[in-house]
Amino acid sequence: MNRVLFKDLGKMPYKAAWDFQEEKLLQKSALKREGKADEITNELFFVEHNHVYTLGKSGHEENVLLNEEQLAKKGIEYFRSNRGGDITYHGPGQIVGYPIFDLEQFKTDLSWYLRSLEEVFIRTIAEYGIKGERSKGETGVWIEPDRKGYERKICALGIRCSRWITMHGFALNVNTNLDYFNFIIPCGIQNKQVTSIQKELGKTVPMEEVKEKIKRHFKDIFELELA
């Protein structure tokens, strides 16, 4: 069982969290180059960002439907990120998580890693009576992915992996203001909706309660111990 250090960073600007992750990745990569991979500590961070759009390295600028002036007026930051995927939104009421894992201590298989992350959230939202599923050819967790016109995404994934060390991660919509998704084409996918636990249940859900469920499912699925 792998030991993983956990920390909730609270509210943090996106760029600060990105820099923080990059520093962690560089530290762990250096240990590998020095033949000290056994000294690498796996870490998991939760964070909540201010309003921000992030574009993945394979993303398309046209999926951002506002110009710079409009973004500034609405108080939304915008970054081109080095994660996979296209455009997404982060903001208050959303649990963002950054697992910085050395997959050589788990399993060197990115598909397995992504499917395992999805399973964490499928099980988390199931505790609220919400049936989360995978959508063929698309990452993340969806609701009714095979019912045309009703497909809606509740959890987005976007990762980077270098020397089998991961960064970036997931964003689960809990009590998120979904209006901010109207100004982008989320994940570059046309004609599909975005939802949240709050919207599905019709009520606000305690963020700390959801975080505890996520942590528990991380423990079970990745067979790890959180410290």
In this prediction, residue 84 carries a pLDDT of: 86
What is the percentage of the chain residues whose pLDDT exceeds 90?
A: 93
pLDDT tens digits along 200-214: 999 999 999 999 999
Instruction: Reply yes or no on whether the pLDDT at 186 is more than 90.
Output: no
Write down the domain spans for the chain: 2-226
Run of H or E including 98: strand 94-100
Residue pair 19/167 in contact by the 8 Å Cβ criterion? no
Average pLDDT along the chain:
95
pLDDT at 189: 72
Q: Which CATH class is domain 2-226?
A: alpha beta
CA 104 to chain centre: 21
- Among 4, 187, 194, 210, the one annotated catalytic: 187
Among residues 184, 126, 187, which one has the least CA distance to residue 153? 187
Per-residue b or e along 194-210, where b marks 16 or more CB atoms closer than 10 Å to that residue's CB: bbbbbbbeeeebebeeb
Give per-residue pLDDT as tens, 48-98: 999 999 999 888 999 999 999 999 999 999 999 999 888 999 999 999 999
Which pLDDT value is given to residue 91? Answer: 97
Residue 161 a catalytic site member:
no
Q: What is the mean pLDDT of residues 28-55?
A: 97
